[in-house]
Amino acid sequence: MIKYCTSLPIEKFILLANNDQMENISILLEKSQTARKSNDWIKLEQISISILQTLFKRDSLKDETLQEVVTNYLSSIVGTGEFLTELASKDIGRYQQGLEKLTIFLARKPHYFKSLDPLIQSGREIALLALEPNSQNRNKISKNLRAIARPDLAVTICKQILEVTRLNYYTLTVLCGAQCDLGNFDQAIEAAEKALKYEPGFGKTFVLNALVRAHTLKFKSNGDFAEILTALKYAHESIDTKLDSYSANAYIAAAVASMKDEEIESAREALSKAEPELRSADINAIIQAATAAQATSPKAIGIEIFDELDDDGFFGVSNSLLDLVSSDEGFVPEIEDVRQMIPRFKSGGWFLQGLCEIPCPKCEKVALHSYRKHFGRYGKEMHYWALVCDVCKTATDSKDFEKKAFTFISSNLEKNFPVVDLCSQCNPSQVLQD
């Protein structure tokens, strides 16, 4: 019997965990999985709140645990999802109330939960897009449902869209991803192959990358080497068509899964060209982390593939480099249009590291401010660079500096302003002292 989640009162949200704070979190997580499997959304909501309250009272926590619990909570307040799958239904109120209560809870100590921002964004986008359920918005709802671990509803919505526009390559590709999330690899591949046949040209790499992921995951599930060879074939076709971050990272996943040294080296070279802002040490770390994950869990299906449907401009971004420099230093820096710096610096998530004591190599003034942005690949935590000179009025990445000069700059900054102490995603407990 499927149960629909009626969202709990905010007082219950704040106090529910008092009765079972001492219960082992691992046991509660196991109960969460049981509730999810039985579609008991009310129970899943209650357990998620209990865990959140327990974690909230701790001095430290594991980010992956937070991610799992909030994902479960968002899944639970979506419930059976009639407000998304039945267009005649306007009953979005329960979901909106549940989302608002989560927002109020997290706002009590916002920096503590900073790493949850992408998940919360997905939850908010579902609420916003559901108000105008046209085909384009429903595709984006499906993407966000995958982010909160409800691929079942994503599949339902995609199939509804395809009843009207049966050759919509965008929907077919989203459907491929959702079917992969459910482990339905044959259905995923069938959808993506149809999308590849009918896509209009500009979306070809998007579909190819989806096929790379589907065949790689199928190989990891059944060990059939023909699947990984097919994945590599699609990966080569994708990078030959358009070499970018998405195609390069899809190739990395397939190459590492194949354990072929020549493919791994080729994927390494592709990533260095697609993301020139990454230094050799960063790329080596990404490869090593992916290889280690493959060695410890060769059949795991958790392959990291970047989602080309991300659209920061649609909903706006926070903490872009341009915004921070404008507010901190009173000017908008000039940025050279190379190495994808402009879109990267316009994206959100940047934070100030500090003022470098080493003079700017160009103007020779002590005016070089370092800004950083967290990113992770295969469990490896790293940070992009943005170096802003308030005399030159420019912003650039680390690649603009000679290796020796940048070594002095980065060492000085790390000595005075250790990035792991400043990054809320690396060390959220450091900003919990408010």
**Three-class SS state of 275:** coil
pLDDT tens per residue, range 182-234:
999 999 999 999 988 876 666 688 899 999 999 999 999 999 999 999 999 99
Contacts of 382 (CB under 8 A, 6+ apart): 282, 285, 374, 375, 376
Look up residue 66 and give its two tokens.
């937070």
pLDDT at 94: 87
Q: Is the distance from CB of 407 to CB of 393 less than 8 angstroms?
A: no
Confidence of residue 103 (pLDDT cuts 50, 70, 90): confident
Residue-by-residue DSSP string for 232-246 = HHHHHHHHHH--SHH
Determine the pLDDT at residue 287. Answer: 86
pLDDT digits over 65-90, tens only? 888 899 999 999 999 999 999 876 66
Residue bearing the bigger pLDDT, 133 or 222:
222
Q: Is residue 296 very low, low, confident or very high in pLDDT (cuts 50, 70, 90)?
A: low
What element of type H or E holds 388? strand 380-389
Rounded to an integer, what distance in angstroms lies between the CA atom of residue 139 and that of residue 145?
10
Are 40 and 114 a contacting pair, CB within 8 Å?
A: no
Question: What's the rounded mean pLDDT across residues 28-33?
Answer: 90
- Residue 345 and residue 427: Cα distance in Å, rounded? 23
Q: What pLDDT is stored for residue 200 in this prediction?
A: 62
Whether the per-residue pLDDT at 312 is higher than 80: the answer is: no
What is the pLDDT confidence band of residue 9, given thresholds at 50, 70 and 90? low
Per-residue pLDDT reduced to its tens digit, 142-168: 999 999 999 999 999 999 988 877 777
Q: Which amino acid is at 255?
A: A
Radius of gyration, CA atoms only, the chain: 23
Give the residue from 291, 221, 215 showing the smallest Cα distance to 260: 291
Which secondary-structure segment (H or E) carries 377? strand 368-377
More confident residue, 272 or 433: 272
Q: Which two tokens stand for residue 422?
A: 């400043």
DSSP summary character for residue 149: T
Q: Is the pLDDT of residue 267 over 90?
A: yes
pLDDT value of residue 90: 67
Q: Which two tokens stand for residue 295?
A: 């060695």
Q: Name the residue among 61, 73, 64 with its Cα closest to residue 101.
A: 73
Identify the pLDDT of residue 110.
67
End-to-end CA distance of the chain: 45
- Supply the mean pLDDT for the chain: 81
Quick count: other Cβ atoms within 10 Å of Cβ 379? Answer: 12
Which pLDDT belongs to residue 399? 78
Question: In the sheet that 394-396 helps form, which strands lie side by side, from edge to edge?
Answer: 334-335, 394-396, 380-389, 368-377, 350-355
More confident residue, 357 or 4: 357
Residue 339 banded pLDDT, cuts 50, 70, 90: confident
Q: What is the spatial distance between Cα 87 and Cα 107, in angstroms, rounded to a whole number? A: 32
